[in-house]
Amino acid sequence: MKRNWEAMVLRAMGGREFRLTVLGTESVDGHYQRLLLDDGGLLETCGIHPTMWIRLWFDNDGRAHQRAYTLVDPDPGAGRFTLEFALHDGCAARWAGAAQVGDTITATVQGSAFELPDPAPGHLYLVGDAASLPAVNSLLDARADTPATVWLEYAHEGEKALSPRASAHHEVTWVPRRDAGQHLVDTVCAGLTASDTAHYWVACEAATTRSITRHIRRTLGVDKRQLTASGYWRAG
C-alpha cells in the first residue's frame, strides 16, 4: 500500500507513527468489532488523556485511507488498549471484521489534545452519538464523581450495543436520529441550562454540533472556555 500526501503532511506536522499488533478480537452484538491491540510503544511515548484518538491507515484498493478512532481503556503499564469498530461498509470495517491475532496496522498520533478543566467542573453536559461514545465514556471514567447529563443520538437499535459507563450521578438519554439530527438539537437545547461551573462537551454530526454549540454560546451565553466541540462526521 502506497502512503499518500496525508501521511507526509502529518509527519511534517510532528505526527508520530507506531505499529499496532492485534492481541484479541471480539464481536459485540454483531454490530461492532472490539480489538485488543499492543500499542507498539505509543502510550509510553505519547502519554494518555481523556478522549485521546489516533489515526489508523487502511488499504483501500491499493490506496492509503486514514480513519480516526478513540482509545478505549488505555493501559500504559501493559502497553495495550482497545478500539471499537462499527461494522458497516468500508475498508476500516472490513479490516476489523477480518482481523486475526498477530495482524498489524500503522497508527499516527497527531492532533489529539484535551485537558480536563481545572478546577474540576461542577457538572458535565455531554452530547454525542455511537461514533463518539468511546470519548464520552473516557470522560465519565475520568470524572466518575462529577454529576453529568448525557445525550446520545442513535440511528438504529444496534448502535446501543456499546454501553455508556454511567454511575449514579450520570443521567443518560438515548435520542433517536430524526429530521437529519434536528430532533437531537431540539432535545438537547431544551434540556441545557447555563452554569458558570459546568463544562459542555459536544461531539456528533458536524451540522448538529454547530447548532448545539451556537445555542450554548449565543443563547445560554456560556464562556468559550467552558465548551469543547467537534464534528465527528458529516451527513451525506
Tens-level pLDDT at each residue, the chain (236 residues): 555 656 555 565 567 999 999 999 999 998 999 999 999 999 999 999 999 999 999 999 888 899 999 999 999 999 999 999 999 889 999 999 999 999 999 999 988 888 888 888 999 999 999 999 999 999 999 999 999 999 999 999 999 999 999 999 899 999 999 999 999 999 999 999 999 999 999 999 999 999 999 999 999 999 999 999 999 889 87
Query: In terms of domains, do 133 and 218 share one?
Result: yes
Q: Which domain holds residue 81?
A: 5-109
Q: What is the pLDDT of residue 6?
A: 63
> CATH code at 136?
3.40.50.80
8 A C-beta contact, residue 11 and residue 64: no
Q: Are residues 145 and 90 in the same domain?
A: no
- Burial per residue of 126-156, b for 16 or more beta-carbon CB atoms within 10 angstroms, e otherwise: bbbbbbbbbbbbbbbeebeebbbbbbbbbee
148 within some domain: yes
Residues 179 and 138 in one domain: yes
pTM of model > 0.75: yes
At position 172, the amino acid (one-letter code) is V
Domain holding 95: CATH number? Answer: 2.40.30.10
pLDDT value, residue 157? 93
- Count up the domains in the chain and report the number: 2
**Residue 141: per-residue pLDDT:** 94
In three-state secondary structure terms, 97 is helix
Residue 36 domain-assigned?
A: yes
The pLDDT assigned to 235 comes to 87
